[in-house]
Amino acid sequence: MRRVLLWAARNRWLRDRVPRLWFARRAVRRFMPGERLEDALDAAERLKATGIGALFTHLGENLVEASEADAVSAHYLDALERIRARGIDGEISVKLTQLGLDLDAGLARRHLAALATRARELDAGLVWIDMEGSAYTEATVALYEELLPEHPNLGICLQAYLRRTAADVRRLLPRGPHIRMVKGAYDEPERIAYRSRAEVDASYLAQCIVILTDGRERAGRLGLGTHDVRLIEQVAAAAEVAGIGPEAYEVEMLYGIRVDRQRRLAAAGYPTRTLIAYGEFWYPWYVRRLAERPANVAFVLRQMLPW
């Protein structure tokens, strides 16, 4: 099921046609409050009462014109202003390909630096760099390394299923990074990625423990970007043994998934943040989210029904 879904996420014919179908748009409401920034901000407002923060991401990737990257950067700059104006505990998470990485690495660097600068001026928390497919991993890590000394409010997403991630963690720890650890949502070959769930989970747990313990005096925030509550509990237990409290890490789950669990974690004192995605180009992102947890497919099929 996971491989079929990842194939569907890459398929251009499906990407062009599925978003037009009314039942597909109905199903995507499970994971998105809407396509507009205003929809995402309204959803974040509703989360405030439960003590849950927000992480906003405007969907889209692999642009073909520099003007498109300029428009994405302008959108996020406006989003930062509006998040701040509404008093929302909200941060942004961006893809480098949205900022022009495929066109010009310098263009992406300038846009990312501008976003980090404005976020710092507004005291708007971190600007997170999403990790994309493995073809972009080295360029993403290298750009993060380059900008981090001047922009310490930048964070980076690492993927536990990549075999190189352990080396990337060791590489970044001396630089005081903020790291969001996720399992990974792309179809990568076995030579560079773990394929079994047991291997991915073991890598996830091991790297989180390294960040919390070896990086205790150097690393910034650790984001636990997973809906796997068992893994979260294992990380929390290992942290407790090491004398590290929940303030050292943050649970980060997607909008619409395990909502009750998110509320319980927040009520129990765990810093918790919901990633709220929005935008018109939701199809590949949405299908990759289903691939991360194929059990959600049954729920989505029920959402497609007219009753």
> In the chain, what are the domains?
33-281 (3.20.20.220)
Active site residue 180: yes
What does the alpha-carbon distance between residue 296 and residue 294 come to, in Å, rounded to a whole number?
5
Length of the chain (residues): 307
Pairwise CA distance, residues 299 & 302, whole Å: 5
Q: At residue 15, does pLDDT exceed 90?
A: no
Query: Which phi and psi angles does 252 have, rounded to 5°?
Result: -130, 110
Nearest CA to 59 among 211, 285, 248?
A: 285
What letters, b where the CB count within 10 A reaches 16 and e where it falls short, cover 256-281? Answer: bbbeeebeebbeeebbbbbbbbbbeb
Q: Which two tokens stand for residue 212?
A: 């919390």
pLDDT digits (tens, 9 = 90+) for 17-55: 655 555 556 666 677 788 899 999 999 999 988 999 999
Q: What is the mean pLDDT of the chain?
A: 87
- Of the candidates 180, 273, 288, 289, the residue annotated as catalytic is 180
User: Which sign, positive or negative, has the C-alpha torsion 91, 96, 98, 99?
Assistant: positive
Check: CB of residue 72 under 8 Å from CB of residue 58.
yes
Name the DSSP class of 281. Answer: -
Kindly tell me if the per-residue pLDDT of 307 is higher than 50.
Answer: no
The two structure tokens encoding residue 27: 């199903």
- CA pair distance 84, 153, nearest whole angstrom: 16
- Local confidence band at 209 (pLDDT 50, 70, 90 cut-offs): very high
Q: Where in the chain does DSSP place strands (E)? A: 53-58, 90-94, 127-129, 154-159, 178-182, 222-225, 249-254, 272-278
What digits encode the pLDDT tens for the residues 123-133? 999 999 999 99
Write the single-letter amino acid at 226. Answer: T
Specify the pLDDT at position 306.
Answer: 47
User: Which amino acid type is present at position 50?
Assistant: T
CA distance 106 to 99: 10
Residue 26's SS3 state is helix
216 is catalytic: no
The average pLDDT across 80-92 equals 97
Among residues 158, 160, 162, 161, which one has the least CA distance to residue 173? 158
Q: Is residue 176 pLDDT above 70, yes or no?
A: yes
In Å, how far from its chain's centre is CA 42? Answer: 20
Summarize pLDDT for 100-129 with one digit per residue, the tens.
999 999 999 999 999 999 999 999 999 999
Which of 130, 168, 201, 228 is catalytic? The answer is 130
Nearest to 88 by CA among 119, 56, 54, 133: 54
Q: What is the pTM of this model?
A: 0.86
Judged by DSSP in three states, 149 sits in: coil
